[in-house]
Amino acid sequence: FQDRFALHLYSVNGKHLSSVPLDEEVTAMCLTEEFVVLGTMQCGLEIRDLQSLRAAVPPVPMRVPVHSVSVTKEKSHILVGLEDGKLIVVGAGQPAEV
């Protein structure tokens, strides 16, 4: 089961730039200029740096599997749609701003 899930980054020309193994199954993804936001079947919300694919912040636990993620136009909040129908709004600024 090792390396069952992975995240791969490619250039617009199709060149493989990097990849990282993931512990959880990704069910939702949203990109910004700097970050990739992932929601998982195992109830996690991950924010990763788009260039390095490293975690930008520790994973945020949700209590139910994530079905959708979206970043607001101002990039101030992340909207997380959960399997139970709830919509969670997560502040996306620096910890002092949230």
Q: Is residue 31 part of a domain?
A: yes
Q: Is residue 98 part of a domain?
A: no
Whether residue 94 has pLDDT greater than 80: no
Q: What is the model's pTM?
A: 0.86
43: nearest Cα among 70, 75, 13, 66: 66
Q: Is residue 96 part of a domain?
A: no
Q: Is residue 1 part of a domain?
A: no
Using an 8 Å Cβ cutoff, are 75 and 46 in contact? no
Domain count, the chain: 1
Q: Is residue 82 part of a domain?
A: yes
Q: What is the CATH number of the domain that holds 67?
A: 2.40.10.360
Q: What average pLDDT does this structure show over 20-37?
A: 94
Q: What sign results for the dihedral spanned by CA atoms 95, 93, 35, 77?
A: positive
**Percent of the chain residues topping a pLDDT of 70:** 91
Which range marks the domain in which residue 61 is found?
6-91
Where residue 1 falls among pLDDT bands split at 50, 70, 90?
very low
Q: Is residue 12 part of a domain?
A: yes
Question: What is the per-residue pLDDT across 42-80, written as a single tens digit (0 to 9) for each?
Answer: 999 999 999 999 999 999 999 999 999 999 999 999 999
Q: What average pLDDT does this structure show over 27-40?
A: 95
